Amino acid sequence: MIYFNNVSKAYRDGLALDDVTLTIVAGEFVSIVGHSGAGKTTLTKMILADATPTEGTVLFESIDIHKLKSKELTKLRRRIGVVFQDFKLLQNKTAYENIAFAMEAVGKTDEEIASDVPHVLELVDLGHRLFHFPNQMSGGEQQRLAIARAIINQPEVIIADEPTGNLDPINTHEIVQILKKINDLGTTVILATHNRGVIDSINKRVITMENGKIIRDTKHNK
């Protein structure tokens, strides 16, 4: 589904990615682990075309992501949901409105919004927070809302970049369980994290990065 072919990314202060070759199959749950500066975020940015390779190619199915024109790139990005460490919620909108906004952006009707928003909030255990604003929610609840927003338009891939970085262990566990549930429903999940405890609890494929290189690629236990 996603292919990195000999991808390098050079910045003035060195290589963020160094000759990375990688395949992610549709339906996988892949954790990318490494210390800060290992290359995790640059790798995920490549999939969204937020960073451009200095060398090599990144393919989504058979599409060279970095050769797409603006309109085609927008269409591709709609197939990918993103969850950030700092939530990036609209603070002046309720939980319902945050998700409705994401649906409106892709042209969904009022009827579809009214039907789908409560359902996705139930999926992330926020059915009781429908009309609450982000500042009325805990950090864990805000991240669950961010996940709901990321999956509402049924993307094929979810990229979660340090989604538990600001959370305590209990909320971290809940977020991981929700990501596993989403993966069980058939969505490819790519999780970038420096938290070894998180990836140990998932028991899926783990890619370890160091200084821009993949130093280990461990398949999940059967």
208 occurs within a structural domain: yes
pLDDT tens for 116-166 read 999 999 999 999 999 999 999 999 999 999 999 999 999 999 999 999 988
Contact 212, 38 (CB under 8 A): yes
CATH number assigned to the domain comprising residue 82: 3.40.50.300
Number of structural domains found in the chain: 1
pTM: 0.93
pLDDT tens for 42-89 read 999 999 999 999 999 999 999 999 999 999 999 999 999 999 888 999
136 occurs within a structural domain: yes
Q: How far apart are CA 54 and CA 7, in angstroms?
A: 7
| Tokens, residue 112 | 């579809």
Q: Residues 6 or more apart from 195 whose CB is under 8 A from it?
A: 33, 164, 165, 172
114 occurs within a structural domain: yes
Q: Which domain, by its residues, includes 150?
A: 29-40+70-218
